[in-house]
C-alpha cells in the first residue's frame, strides 16, 4: 500500500468523524484495504476491528462501496485479473487483499463478472482475513520483541563498557598514587643518606680541626655542607697533660670553643629562607608550621605564660625544629632564651617583631605549599 493511500485516511467526511483512525491505519497497513473501504467498514461494523473485517467481507461484492453519490453513474470493472498468477478477483477489496498476501502488483481490469460468493465462501473469506490479520499482528509483535532484545543488549554492552572504562581509570589512578608515593619515599631516603654522609664528613672535619668547622662561602652566602646544630662545641687540647688540674682544663676549653654568632633580628628573613630550602619529604614545611605555631600562640595570647615556654625535649621540637639550620636561631632572634631543657621568651621581647615574624612565616609556609 502506498504512503499516499495511508495519508488519505486523514481525509474523513463529517459523517465519518467518529471513526477510529488507529483502526483505519491497521486495516490499511496490515491487511491492505484502501482507506475509504477501511473507513466504511469501521463505520458500519461498530467501529471495531472484527466488525469492520466482517462487514468488508460481506459487502465486498457491492460495486458502489467507494461511491456515496446515488445520482452519479460511474463505469466500473466487473472483475480484475492478476497477470502474474492468473487469478480472477471479483472486486477491488479482493484485489488489495490478494496483493497484500502475495506481493503481486500486475493487475488488469476485466468485463467478466465473477459469481458472487456463497454464505459459506463469505465465512471462509472472513476467516482468511482474520488469519491474515493475526499473522500481521504476530509479525509486528515479533519485530517489537526483537527490537527490545537488541536495545537491551546494546544497553548492557554500553554499561559494561562504561564499567570497564571506570575500572581502568581507577586502576590508573591507583598506579599513579603508588608511583608518586614511591618517588617521595625514594627522595626522602636519598636525602636522609645525603644528610648522614654530610654529618659523617662534618664529624671527621671537626675531629681534624680540633672541634672547628670551616665555613662554606659562595656567591649566595653561607652554604654549609651538612645540618648544623647550635650547640656549644668544647674540645680539650690533646697536647695537655692529663694530670693538669680542672682550672687548666676549663681554660683550654674556653680557648678552643668557637665564638657563637649572636642572632640578629635583621636576619629573620635569612633564617626563614634557610628553613624553606629543605625540600625533601616536605621537611621545610613541617618546620615552618611548628615555628609559626610557636610565634602565633605568643602573638594571639600575649598574657598567657604557657605559650612563652618551648619544651626542647618534646618530639615535635627534636624532630622538626632542632635539625634544621635557621630554625633555632630564628626563635632566639625574636626573644626566646635557651635554658636547660626549654626556651623561654624573655621579658624584653618586642611584640611588633613577633607579629612581623608571624606574617613572614605564614607567607613562607604558603609559598612552600604552592
Report how far residue 69's alpha carbon sits from residue 368's, in angstroms, rounded to the nearest whole number. 98
Phi, psi torsion values for 259, nearest 5 degrees:
-70, 135
Rg (CA), the chain: 53
Report how far residue 349's alpha carbon sits from residue 331's, in angstroms, rounded to the nearest whole number. 11
Determine the pLDDT at residue 86: 75
146, three cell numbers: 526483537
Q: Find where cell 626556651 sits.
A: 343
Determine the pLDDT at residue 35: 78
CATH code, residues 262-370: 1.20.58.2190
Low-confidence ranges of the chain (pLDDT < 70): 1-18, 29-32, 60-78, 112-117, 122, 213-262
Q: Find where cell 636561631 sits.
A: 329
Determine the pLDDT at residue 355: 93
pLDDT tens, position by position, 25-81: 777 766 667 778 778 888 887 778 777 777 777 776 554 444 444 444 445 556 777
Determine the pLDDT at residue 262: 63
Q: Find where cell 487469478 sits.
A: 87
Determine the pLDDT at residue 54: 75
Instruction: With 0.85 as the threshold, say if the pTM is over it.
Output: no
Domain with CATH 1.20.58.2190 in the chain: 262-370
Report how far residue 307's alpha carbon sits from residue 231's, in angstroms, rounded to the nearest whole number. 24
Report how far residue 323's alpha carbon sits from residue 315's, in angstroms, rounded to the nearest whole number. 12
Determine the pLDDT at residue 228: 47
Report how far residue 64's alpha carbon sits from residue 74's, in angstroms, rounded to the nearest whole number. 9
pLDDT tens, position by position, 189-224: 999 999 999 888 888 888 888 777 665 544 444 455
Q: Find where cell 461494523 sits.
A: 45
39, three cell numbers: 473507513
Amino acid at each position: 500500500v502506498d504512503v499516499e493511500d495511508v495519508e488519505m485516511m486523514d481525509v474523513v467526511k463529517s459523517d465519518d468523524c467518529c471513526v477510529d483512525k488507529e483502526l483505519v491505519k491497521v486495516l490499511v497497513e496490515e491487511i491492505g484495504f484502501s482507506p475509504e473501504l477501511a473507513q466504511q467498514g469501521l463505520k458500519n461494523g461498530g467501529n471495531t476491528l472484527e466488525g469492520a473485517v466482517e462487514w468488508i467481507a460481506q459487502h465486498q461484492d457491492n460495486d458502489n462501496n467507494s461511491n456515496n453519490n446515488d445520482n452519479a453513474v460511474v463505469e466500473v470493472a466487473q472483475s480484475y485479473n492478476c497477470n502474474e498468477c492468473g487469478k480472477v478477483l471479483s472486486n477491488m477489496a479482493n484485489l488489495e487483499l490478494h496483493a497484500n498476501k502475495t506481493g503481486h502488483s500486475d493487475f488488469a481490469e476485466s468485463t467478466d463478472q465473477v459469481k458472487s460468493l456463497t454464505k459459506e465462501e463469505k465465512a471462509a473469506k472472513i476467516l482468511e482475513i482474520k488469519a491474515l490479520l493475526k499473522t500481521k499482528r504476530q509479525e509486528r509483535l515479533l519485530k517489537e520483541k526483537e527490537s527490545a532484545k537488541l536495545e537491551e543488549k546494546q544497553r548492557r554492552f554500553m554499561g559494561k563498557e562504561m564499567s570497564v572504562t571506570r575500572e581502568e581509570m581507577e586502576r590508573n589512578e591507583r598506579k599513579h598514587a603508588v608511583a608518586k608515593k614511591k618517588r617521595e619515599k625514594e627522595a626522602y631516603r636519598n636525602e636522609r643518606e645525603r644528610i648522614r654522609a654530610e654529618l659523617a664528613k662534618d664529624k671527621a672535619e671537626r675531629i681534624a680541626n680540633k672541634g672547628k668547622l670551616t665555613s662554606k662561602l659562595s656567591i649566595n652566602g653561607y652554604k654549609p655542607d651538612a645540618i648544623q646544630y647550635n650547640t656549644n662545641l668544647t674540645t680539650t687540647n690533646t697536647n695537655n697533660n692529663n694530670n693538669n688540674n680542672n682550672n687548666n682544663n676549663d681554660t683550654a676549653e674556653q680557648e678552643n670553643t668557637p665564638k657563637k654568632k649572636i642572632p640578629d633580628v635583621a636576619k629573620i628573613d635569612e633564617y626563614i629562607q634557610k628553613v624553606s630550602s629543605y625540600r625533601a619529604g616536605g621537611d621545610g614545611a613541617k618546620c615552618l608550621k611548628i615555628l609559626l605555631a610557636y610565634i602565633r600562640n605568643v602573638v594571639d595570647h600575649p598574657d598567657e605564660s604557657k605559650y612563652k615556654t618551648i619544651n626542647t625535649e618534646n618530639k615535635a621540637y627534636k624532630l622538626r625544629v632542632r635539625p634544621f639550620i635557621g630554625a633555632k636561631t630564628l626563635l632566639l632572634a625574636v626573644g626566646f632564651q635557651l635554658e636547660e631543657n626549654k626556651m623561654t621568651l624573655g621579658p624584653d621581647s618586642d611584640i611588633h617583631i613577633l607579629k612581623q615574624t608571624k606574617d613572614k612565616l605564614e607567607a613562607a609556609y604558603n609559598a612552600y605549599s604552592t
